[in-house]
Structure 1
Amino acid sequence: MNKFASLWLVFAIIGAAYSAPAAEADGDDRILNGRKAATNQYPFIVSLQYKMPSEPGTILRSKFCGGSILNKRWILTAAHCIVNGNKDGGVMHVKAGVKNAFDLGGQYPRVQKIIWPTQYNKTGQEEHDIALLQLAEELVMGPAVQPIAMAPKGFKASGVGTILGWGAINEDHSQSSNELLYTPIPVAPSSDCDIFRAHRPAEHICLGGKGGGSACGGDSGGPFILTHNGKPLLVGATSFGTVKCTNDKPVVYTSVAAYRDWIDETMAKN
């Protein structure tokens, strides 16, 4: 990787452990330059968490990435979140229907199957960085938990969309937010992401880099959405960015449209 390598992904994988319920993170309200989501504003996002071994009567969870609800049994996220993640004896769950990732409310189904493209990361770079999680129990749909439509094959992202997550809120990843944060972000020219050796225009969407908001470690796997025909459309999943989280450099998202065939075929076979 070059000096703008995607090392912040490591922080997204490791995450941090918290006793639930946890206090809200101090400091800036940023995904970078973000704001707090309203109740049920984004009912399709989930927090990926490990339920950790703990003392009887306590709850210990480790949040590490985000994901998007496709239907009652399937979540879309980034492959790097779960392929080499350090489980530390934990059991992977998704937390749905909450603004605070450690709220005792919401839904908390266990992940029973994880699937990613066979070509993922074979060159040691962030290629084919997408994954599907099959849940052991169906999500119960309602105002706080809803699926999101996916971009169709061939969809070309443009304009200004939204990114969101519970990840780091400062450059060195020392703080993360327990509250769901979001920020608008423009689609950038693909060439802007050529600063990353791992950039693959056919499978990636380049975002930001204009001094606005950006994603950071722990936001990985979370959605990039555009409004299409008046409704939110899942267009990308957070993949990688610069070593330090800054909003003057672009961030790369895996294109959902580029993987629609794989997504649809995988869910149909399983």
Structure 2
Amino acid sequence: MFSKWIRIALCCCCLLSSPVFSSDVSPYIVNGTETSVVTHPDFVSLFYDRTEYDRMYGGHSFCGGTMLTNQYVLTAAHCIFSGDSINEESMLFMTVGQTSDETDWIYNIIPVRPAEFYYFSSFSDSESDLWKDDIAIIKLTSPLNTGGTINRPTNESYRSNSESFTAIGHGNTTTNTITYKLLKTSMDYVDQSTCASVTSGLHDSQICFSGGSAPTMNNGICAGDSGGPIYWNDSGTLRQVGITSFGPTVCGSGSITGVFTELTNYDTWIDQVLDGTLAPNYIATDAKRLAYYQTNILRSSSGGGSIGWYLLGVLFGILGYRWKERASATIRCDGHTHHI
């Protein structure tokens, strides 16, 4: 059994007077090779963006996602939670965009703001419950022209170690080695009983994959890949079978290098959201954004223009990921890079 599941959180500080806030966090896809949104036109990234208020934004996406339609994004619930409650700031100041290279963010990407959020009331942002029902849907304010939407499986015939699977995401090839490219890695299906023997408390709605048998650096998922997809190659058609949820403390280690929320368990719920028969759990508006910014960010900032302790805590939650192991990171403030 894994001694600890991992979730990286980043705490940062820089002057509000600086023209750009940017954060880099590691690690991500393990043993990845470069791919693109041309190959995976349904893949999108979730970014933190406050530029219209004070020119502050996240330098990397904090989670991935995929397009169910041109206006509905599928991702992990933990991407919009912080502990026992929703992370309102991450939802209000989130933008969704598409890029193969995150150095294009923020100037060469046209993102779209979310309008509505859907998730399960039974979701718990908790390691002890292994993040049960780790799935969320985001309705955008307007369509996002990605050029593609996901193919969902119609059955579970993919549950075989003879099938081919690929996980993708933005980020590092190894711990503390930053890359901005979209990466892919191949993984192998692990049956439920085998996975449950390693991951005590595994839920039936979760599906497990392995990336090899070496002691370390097996193919796998890691921090910034949360919310992104794992695809099944169904005779040439890529079908998304899972949403990246969590992995081992040391990315790429052990016999299970990724646990995903399995989509087929949520077909009815997904259809109800898309049909408009379910009410959203949270609605984001420009008025809410402005009120939150004025009340919780401006008023909580310390004197002299620096980010206040409240904002630090909020950013810690926003830019937190599934992995619990703390990683080294950098922040860029006014053109200078600092290590924390």
TM over 0.5: yes
Say if 1:46 and 1:222 are closer, same or farther in 2 by CA, change over 3 A: same
Query: Residue 116 of structure 1 corresponds to which residue in structure 2?
Result: 119
What does residue range 1-270 of structure 1 map to in structure 2 within 5 Å? 3-8=2-7, 10-11=8-9, 31-38=29-36, 40-53=38-51, 60-61=57-58, 62-84=60-82, 85=87, 87=89, 91-96=93-98, 98-103=99-104, 104-121=107-124, 125=129, 126-141=131-146, 145-152=147-154, 154=156, 156-158=158-160, 159-171=163-175, 174-194=176-196, 195-200=198-203, 202-211=204-213, 212-250=218-256, 251-268=258-275, 269=277
CA distance in 1, matches of 2:240, 2:234: 10
Moved over 6 A (4+): none
Q: Does the CA contact (< 8 Å) of 1:153 and 1:259 recur in 2?
A: no
Residue 151 of structure 1: how far off its partner (Å)? 1.9
The DSSP-based 3-state class of the residue aligned with 1:234 is strand
Q: Does the CA contact (< 8 Å) of 2:78 and 2:125 recur in 1?
A: no
Q: Does the CA contact (< 8 Å) of 2:5 and 2:249 recur in 1?
A: yes
Give 1:178's aligned amino acid: Y
Say if 1:114 and 1:232 are closer, same or farther in 2 by CA, change over 3 A: same
Gaps of 5+ in 1: none
Q: Does the CA contact (< 8 Å) of 1:169 and 1:216 recur in 2?
A: no
Task: Give me the TM-score of the superposition, normalised by structure 1.
Answer: 0.81
Say if 1:153 and 1:111 are closer, same or farther in 2 by CA, change over 3 A: farther
CA distance in 2, matches of 1:160, 1:15: 38
Residue 192 of structure 1: how far off its partner (Å)? 3.4
Task: Give me the TM-score of the superposition, normalised by structure 2.
Answer: 0.66
Residue 6 of structure 1: how far off its partner (Å)? 2.4
Structure with the largest fraction of helix: 2
CA distance in 1, matches of 2:156, 2:12: 37
Say if 1:176 and 1:157 are closer, same or farther in 2 by CA, change over 3 A: farther
Would you say how many aligned residue pairs link Structure 1 and Structure 2?
Answer: 256
> Could you say which structure has the larger radius of gyration?
2
Give 1:206's aligned amino acid: C
Q: Which of 148-157 and 45-54 deviates more?
A: 148-157
Q: Which of 109-118 and 83-92 deviates more?
A: 83-92
Deviation per CA, 1:205-249: give whole Å up to 9, x if none. 110152441000010110000122421111100011112212433
Say if 1:235 and 1:266 are closer, same or farther in 2 by CA, change over 3 A: same
Gaps of 5+ in 2: 14-18, 279-340
Residue 75 of structure 1: how far off its partner (Å)? 0.7
- Superposed CA RMSD in Å reads 3.3
Say if 1:16 and 1:112 are closer, same or farther in 2 by CA, change over 3 A: farther
Q: Does the CA contact (< 8 Å) of 2:158 and 2:232 recur in 1?
A: no
Q: Does the CA contact (< 8 Å) of 2:117 and 2:139 recur in 1?
A: yes
Deviation per CA, 1:78-107: give whole Å up to 9, x if none. 1111122584796111112x2012413343
The DSSP-based 3-state class of the residue aligned with 2:62 is strand
